[in-house]
Amino acid sequence: MRHLKLDTDAQGVALLTIDVADRPMNVLMPEVEAELAEAVARVRADAGIRGLIIVSGKANGFIAGADLKEFVEAYERKTTQAQGAERSRQFQRLFRSLETCGKPVAIAMNGLALGGGLELCLAGHYRVLSDNPKAVVGLPECGIGLLPGAGGTQRLPRLIGVENALPMMLSGRHVKPAEALKLGIVHELATPGEEVAVARRWIDSQPDPRQPWDKPGFRVEPASVFIAETRASTLRETHGNYPAPLAILGCVAEGVPLPIDDGLEVEARYFGQLLAGPVARNLIRTTFINRGLADKLARRPKGIDKAPAQKLAVLGAGTMGGGIAFAAAQAGIPVVLLDSSGDLAERAKAAISVRLAQDVAKGRLAQDKADALLARITPTADYALLADCDFAIEAVFEDAAIKAQVIARAEAALPATAVFASNTSALPIGGLARTSLRPGQFVGMHFFSPVERMVLVEIIAGQETRPETLARTFDLAGQLKKTPILVNDGPGFYSTRVVNAYINEGLDLLTEGVAPALIEDAARQAGMPVGPLALADEVGLDLGLKIARQVDTLEAGRSRAVATLDQMVRQGRRVGRKSGTGFYDYPEGGAKRLWPGLAALYPPAAEQPGVEEIKQRLLYAQALEAARCVEDGVVTHMPDGDLGSLLGWGFPSYTGGTLSLIDTLGIANFVEACERLAARHGVHFAPSAWLKEKAGRGENFYPPVV
Ligand code: NAD
């Protein structure tokens, strides 16, 4: 056996060590399962073995789960529901054979046991968990669009009750040792290193080698009211966009009252449905695989030495500048925070100080850490202080002339080798770089608001940006713990362009007489975190108007949206959320409310469209704009487009992102739907010849799995 080792001692206790070859952590995959089946058969058949202890050969934990590669490819390989169910049954048969092998089985868990790893443990008769700070157990499958299909949905509720098991499976949360013991997921905690000895003591006590559910009279407390309430709240939260939580509810409701083998069959059927559908593929690919690659800076130009920023200049101490300075100071980087007056810069630092004081008061931050962080920020209006900064980020007003002035003054003070990044929302980097003395060192670094919470940063390569500059920008993104995507230049680059398409579609609906509450609600039902009108307020209507004017030159028939924003701004509804007036009112201390004045400006039509139609328009407008970004060469790497949409503005993760949404439908179907929309709602929905040709060739955005 390549991954497993079975040793039996003189007293007849077998020790099965799992150490999956060529992997940093133990994962379940067909080869490992086959060896496990062989080992179980030997334990069952060998009369000299009176008990089994299963351990991990890796110091970093027990088993991290199943290998996700298989599951992400299942959809691409057109796995049917029946094949998916059969895959679940393979796991189930293996674990069932373990718990019915006739010998007591103890699992000595030295740490982390997640997903299939925990499901294996649940099939043991006795679980001992190491009481170490890194040890966690959990069933996180729901988060990747699947369910614990190796018996987890059946064993966990039978073991700890439906009311404990269901929330754990729906949230996928990690449970630490003390709670795992309290809930009854494990029987005993052990001092790290003592797990096997504790397991051994249990085996020596000559226990009954049967699971509770295999003993006569076993039953689980029915929890039908709890299940019904959980189903209702799940539907409210997910709007039915995510099949996995509903499938888990189904497994528990239908399977747990049955004998275990019948319950497992219910689970297998639901698992098959999920594996054959696109949501699991979308969630695993984008939120797990692509995200992981981006975090490892896979798109950083190769062959260039790492060069972390030593001292950062942040120019403009407003919303974004303050946030960037804070993030940098948090990462240990000294920051010069410059504004047009010393007062304004001081004020930004004072705001950071207030936030830190709140964190200290709540016990989230130690006073000395807060002091050190604050001491890293030097507020100023004096450009001479930039003399030793090796990286500068500009975040002044969105105005090309002002930016040009700031670039010139900063470059005169910065060292000749410094990188200069602009946080502009939409001004092309090439245009700004023309005002720079060193266009090769000029780059776009687009953060999202609020900077401390939003993990995405969009790096924009101008035509002249050198690979070394990009590499250093990636390094800074890494220092700031942001997830970078890399796109090419153009008005609005990628994210602003697509967000603009979303807001514009919302404004179109409004001017057509669709009730604003219906627009906002449909957007949330589609899975967007905020409606397009609320998002326009977040951006600020005056900034939105500038952006729309900048970006709309790309699109035909878009002047209507510009006109709407213009009209709102002229009504004095300027700065959205910041000023308390936009499409919404923001009463002090109260929840935001749609501005009643909207009804007079945009009277609702007598007949309102259906929710599905609005949802489709709002999502497809974004997806189509993302496709145009690929066509224009702004997005060259599909994961950048998908991840950017998910992390940048919360495009719903069940779709996998803007481009995966199209792939999931198939480009030909998407093109057809857009043509129908174009006929009814305007040429901005017209798919390009390029996209139609791509559809004609039967292509996808992502290459097919071979
Ligand atoms: P803001 O108005 O809050 O801050 C701009 C700051 O720049 C102000 O403090 C202002 O005093 C300062 N400033 C203006 N002219 C200056 C000069 N000549 N020299 C020095 N400082 C000067 O604006 P913001 O929302 O922080 O946006 C800043 C930039 O970031 C803009 O380009 C904007 O498009 C972009 N951006 C904004 C967001 C967002 O959500 N707010 C998101 C991404 C990018």
Over residues 159-207, the pLDDT tens digits come to 999 999 999 999 999 999 999 999 999 999 999 999 999 999 999 999 9
Residue 489 to residue 460: CA distance in whole angstroms: 6
pLDDT of residue 467: 98
Predicted confidence (pLDDT) at residue 580 exceeds the cutoff of 60: yes
Q: Check if 339 has its Cβ closer than 6 Å to any atom of ligand 1.
A: yes
Determine whether the shortest distance from the Cβ of 320 to ligand 1 is under 6 A: yes
Closest by CA position to 187, among listed 173, 172, 205, 166: 205
Question: CA 284, 288, 292: angle at the middle one, nearest 5?
Answer: 150
Q: Which residue has the least CA distance to atom 3 on ligand 1?
A: 318
pLDDT in tens, 58-98: 999 999 999 988 898 899 889 999 999 999 999 999 999 99
Q: Bridge-partner residues for 314, per DSSP?
A: 337, 393
Q: Is 406 in the pocket of ligand 1 (CB under 6 A)?
A: yes
Helix axis angle, 658-665 to 638-649, nearest 10°:
120
Collect all residues with Cβ–Cβ distance below 8 Å to 30 and sequence separation of at least 6: 70
- How does pLDDT run across 633-673, given as a tens digit for each residue? 999 999 999 999 999 999 999 999 999 999 999 999 999 99
CA of 445 to the centre of ligand 1 (A): 14
Residue nearest to atom 31 of ligand 1 (CA): 398
CATH 3.90.226.10 domain extents, the chain: 4-276
- In contact, 524 and 557? CB cutoff 8 Å: no
Q: DSSP letters along 191-256, please?
A: -TT-HHHHHHHHHHT----S-GGGSTT------HHHHHHHHHHHHHHHTT--HHHHHHHHIIIIIT
pLDDT attached to residue 705 = 74
Cα of 621 to ligand 1 centre, how many Å?
Answer: 28
- The dihedral through the CA atoms of 188, 171, 495, 580 has a sign that is negative
Q: Tell me whether strands 456-461 and 442-447 are parallel, antiparallel or unpaired.
A: antiparallel
ipTM over 0.95: yes
- pLDDT of res. 190: 98
Class of domain 495-609: mainly alpha
pLDDT at 28 over 90: yes
Nearest to 335 by CA among 343, 276, 327: 327
Q: Where in the chain is the domain with CATH 3.40.50.720?
A: 312-487
Answer whether 11 contacts ligand 1 (Cβ < 6 A). Answer: no
pLDDT the model gives residue 233: 97
What is the reported pLDDT for 657?
98
pLDDT digits (tens, 9 = 90+) for 615-643: 999 999 999 999 999 999 999 999 999 99
Ligand 1 centroid to residue 397 C-alpha, Å: 4
Where are the CATH 1.10.1040.50 domain residues in the chain? 495-609
Beta carbon of 579 within 6 Å of any ligand 1 atom = no
Q: Provide the pLDDT confidence category of residue 272 given band limits of 50, 70 and 90.
A: very high
Q: How far is CA 263 from the centre of its chain?
A: 32
Provide the pairing of β-strand 442-447 with 137-138.
unpaired
Tell me which residue of 143, 87, 97 sits closest to 120, measured CA to CA. Answer: 97
Atom 44 (ligand 1) nearest CA: 425
Residues 6+ apart with CB under 8 A from 504: 548, 552, 558, 561, 621, 684
Atom of ligand 1 at shortest distance to CA of 547? 34
Q: What is the third-level CATH fold of 4-276?
A: 2-enoyl-CoA Hydratase; Chain A, domain 1 (3.90.226)
Strands across the sheet containing 13-18: 4-8, 13-18, 51-56, 105-109, 126-130, 188-190
- Round to the nearest angstrom and report the end-to-end CA distance of the chain: 29
| Ramachandran quadrant class, 487 (left: phi over 0; alpha: psi -120 to 50; beta: rest) | beta
pLDDT computed for residue 556 by the predictor: 52
pLDDT score for 553: 55
pLDDT value at residue 562: 84
Question: Taking residues 321-340, what's their average pLDDT?
Answer: 98
pTM passes above 0.80: yes
| CA-to-CA separations, 305 to 56, 154, 300, 471, 474, in angstroms, rounded | 38, 51, 11, 8, 12
Enter the tokens of residue 620: 């497809």
Q: How far is the CA of 582 from the centre of ligand 1 (A)?
A: 19
What separation in angstroms does the CA of 568 have from each of 399, 499, 542, 573? 21, 19, 9, 5
Instruction: Please tell me which residue, 706 or 146, carries the higher pLDDT value.
Output: 146
Q: Note the pLDDT of residue 552.
A: 67
Condensed to tens digits (0 to 9), the pLDDT of residues 490-536 reads: 989 999 999 999 999 999 999 999 999 999 999 999 999 999 999 99
What percent of the chain has a predicted confidence (pLDDT) above 90?
91
Q: What is the pLDDT of residues 388-414, one digit of tens each?
A: 999 999 999 999 999 999 999 999 999
**105 three-state secondary structure:** strand
Instruction: Find tokens 């975040």 and name the residue.
Output: 395
439-453 residue pLDDT tens: 999 999 999 999 999
Minimum-distance ligand 1 atom for the alpha carbon of 398: 32
CB 648 within 8 A of CB 495: yes
341 Cβ closer than 6 Å to some ligand 1 atom: no
Q: How many CB atoms lie within 10 A of CB 698?
A: 10
Helix (H, G, I), strand (E, B) or coil at 101: coil
Q: Give the number of the atom of ligand 1 that is nearest the alpha carbon of residue 425.
A: 34
Single-letter code of the amino acid located at 645: S
Given a cut of 60, whether residue 588 has pLDDT beyond it is yes
Using the mean position of ligand 1's atoms as its centre, give its distance from the Cα of residue 325 in Å. Answer: 13
Percent of the chain with pLDDT over 70: 99
- Residue partners of 703: CB distance under 8 A and separation at least 6: none
pLDDT bracket for residue 706 (50, 70, 90): low
Mean pLDDT for the chain overall:
95
Give the tokens for residue 191. Answer: 């001092």
Residues tagged active-site: 446
Instruction: Examine the pLDDT at 330 and tell me if it is beyond 70.
Output: yes
Give the mean pLDDT of 6-24.
97
Q: Which amino acid is at 518?
A: L
Q: Is the CB of 402 inside a 6 Å radius of any atom of ligand 1?
A: yes
**92 three-state secondary structure:** helix
- The pLDDT, as a whole number, for residue 76 is 86
What's the pLDDT at 328?
A: 98
Place of tokens 């401390």: 452
Q: Is 344 in the pocket of ligand 1 (CB under 6 A)?
A: yes
Give me the pLDDT at residue 557, please: 55
> Cα of 249 to ligand 1 centre, how many Å?
48
Angle 496-497-501 from CA coordinates, rounded to 5°: 110
CB of residue 318 inside a 6 A radius of ligand 1: yes
Model pLDDT, residue 297:
94
Neighbouring CB atoms inside 10 A of 305's CB total 8
Query: Is the CB of 319 within 6 Å of ligand 1?
Result: yes
Atom of ligand 1 at shortest distance to CA of 402?
18
Between 70 and 477, residue with greater pLDDT:
477
Pocket mutation for ligand 1, best pick of 340, 347, 397, 457 (most atoms within 8 Å of C-beta) = 397
**Minimum mean pLDDT among 74-83, 118-127, 243-252, 638-647: which range?**
74-83
Q: Judging by beta carbons within 10 Å of its beta carbon (0-12, 13-18, 19+), is residue 367 exposed, middle or buried?
A: exposed
Tokens representing 236?
A: 């409210």
Mean pLDDT of 341-359: 97
Nearest of 512, 614, 505, 616 to residue 555 by alpha carbon: 505
Q: Judge if the beta carbon of residue 247 lies within 6 A of ligand 1.
A: no
Q: Rounded mean pLDDT of 664-688?
A: 96
pLDDT at position 294 is 94
8 Å CB contact between 611 and 254: no
Residue 246 pLDDT greater than 70, yes or no = yes
Q: What is the arithmetic mean of pLDDT over 468-477?
A: 98
Query: Cα–Cα distances in Å, from 232 out to 178, 242, 249, 526?
Result: 31, 14, 11, 18
In this structure, the residue with its CA closest to atom 19 of ligand 1 is: 340
Q: In the structure encoding, which two tokens stand for residue 309, read together?
A: 């920023």
Tell me what pLDDT residue 45 has. Answer: 97
Query: Which residues on neighbouring strands pair with residue 335, listed in sequence order?
Result: 312, 377
What average pLDDT does the segment 216-245 reach?
96
Cis peptide before 639 (omega within 30 of 0): no
Query: Under CATH, what is the fold of the domain 312-487?
Result: Rossmann fold (3.40.50)
Is residue 288 helix, strand or coil? helix
